[in-house]
Amino acid sequence: MERISLPVPIGALQELALAAFRCCGLNEADAEAAAEVLVTTDAWGVYTHGTKSLRGYARRLRGGGLRADGRPQIVRQGPAWAVIDGDSSVGMVTARFAMRTAMDKARACGLGFTTVRNSCHFGAAGFYAWMAAREGMVGQAMANDTASVTAPGSRGPVLGSNPFAFAAPAGEEAPILLDISTAAVAGGKVRIAAAFGQPIPPTWLVDLQGAPTLDPHLYPHAASLTPMAGHKGYGLALMIETLSGLLSGARLTQAIGSWIDSDPALPTDHGHAFLALDVGAFFPLDQYRQRMDELIRQIRSAPKAQGQERIWLPGEKEWEAQAQARVHGIPLPADVRESLSGLIGDLGLARPDWL
């Protein structure tokens, strides 16, 4: 008989994530910082990039490819930019440091840009863009990843699904938050379809001949993702590769280790890039907030297409899920619970009563 799974209080999930990172040797500050990224992402309802990934990060921390005592460092900088070496620390720790650095520079110079090498998978790019929006800044966050996506005309993977996030503050309205993969769909969604035995649309994957396939089990060994909007997503992925990988000196495309499938004893050497723009430097912040509120309300109240009840602003689904989660807990899907069960087994942690 299937057990009924109740939503998990945010604090309870944070405790488990903290315990896992502590168990892997992270100091308290790093464990807190990394856990908060993953749990916030789950609270947003973005379960592909939340605590589901903990088991994989723990595997790499125990294997040595991720260093629990790694310390991201600025290796080169100017007043408005920095190149950061992640020292193979946990991706979320390095990414928070790098976005914070970009924001500090933006506070002083109007804008700040950081590019990062020697990092790993950093969870949801949107978290870092949102860090900027919370403090009156426009933020961008992006990362390269091991090749899994075709280019128009190729039959094998050429670039990663290189994610891109953007956030902007508003006034009374919630911030704008966009977090997208430059693949037609994120690889995590294909893995979920495979796990649940679901078919996928013909636009998600191509097989070894470059022909569309409906079988999610072929990914990634015998199928590749397709780029978002064809040449447009391919071009944007190449832009992200340039800003994250080429400007930082990180590895590129095939040379990047898969954070899931590669030898956990080896660093993956992902690259990231972060941009922060301090709104108040460019335009009076209160007027900006008022105009952004007006724009948001104008879009929301636009006439609906037949059969449509609502026009969503980027991020609104996340804010609503988070508000629900604060009151009722996070309704973790079965695949996340299963991964967390595996995690506590791997690490010998006490099983929480909600799992």
Residues 296-315 that bind a second copy (CB under 8 A): 298-299, 302-306, 308-314
Interior/surface letters 237-253, b for 16+ CB within 10 angstroms, e for the rest: bbebbebbbebbbbbbb
Distance CA(114)–CA(112), nearest Å, equals 7
Site for a second copy in 182-201 (CB under 8 A): 184
Binds a second copy (CB under 8 A): choice among 74, 195, 211, 214: 211
Count of residues engaged in binding a second copy, rule: CB under 8 A: 74
Q: Does 150 bind a second copy (CB under 8 A)?
A: yes
Task: Beginning with the edge strand found earlier in the chain, give each strand of the sheet holding 137-143 in spatial order.
Answer: 73-78, 81-85, 111-119, 270-278, 137-143, 163-168, 176-181
Which is nearer to a second copy, 239 or 355 (by Cβ)? Answer: 239
Binds a second copy (CB under 8 A): choice among 234, 272, 274, 340: 234
Binds a second copy (CB under 8 A): choice among 115, 146, 213, 244: 115
Q: Does 281 bind a second copy (CB under 8 A)?
A: yes
* CB neighbour list of residue 113: distance below 8 Å, 6 or more residues apart: 80, 81, 82, 102, 105, 273, 274, 275, 276
Which listed range, 1-9, 191-199, 240-248, 331-339, lies at the site for a second copy (CB under 8 A)?
240-248
Site for a second copy in 243-262 (CB under 8 A): 243, 246-249, 252-254
Residue 333: name the closest of 14, 42, 41, 34 by CA.
42
Q: How far is the CB of 151 from a second copy (least distance, A)?
A: 5
CA distances from 247 to 82, 145, 233 (A): 10, 15, 20
Q: How far is the CB of 142 from a second copy (least distance, A)?
A: 12
Binds a second copy (CB under 8 A): choice among 109, 174, 194, 349: 109
Q: Does 73 bind a second copy (CB under 8 A)?
A: no
Distance CA(123)–CA(44), nearest Å, equals 13
Q: Does 242 bind a second copy (CB under 8 A)?
A: yes
Q: How far is the CB of 299 from a second copy (least distance, A)?
A: 5
Residue 180: name the closest of 37, 321, 314 by CA.
314
Q: Does 134 bind a second copy (CB under 8 A)?
A: no
Binds a second copy (CB under 8 A): choice among 210, 323, 328, 334: 210
Binds a second copy (CB under 8 A): choice among 66, 98, 125, 151: 151
Q: Does 350 bind a second copy (CB under 8 A)?
A: no
Judged by phi (left if over 0) then psi (alpha if -120 to 50, else beta), residue 249 lies in left
Residue 18: name the closest of 45, 46, 59, 58 by CA.
58
Q: Does 166 bind a second copy (CB under 8 A)?
A: yes
Binds a second copy (CB under 8 A): choice among 229, 265, 266, 323: 229
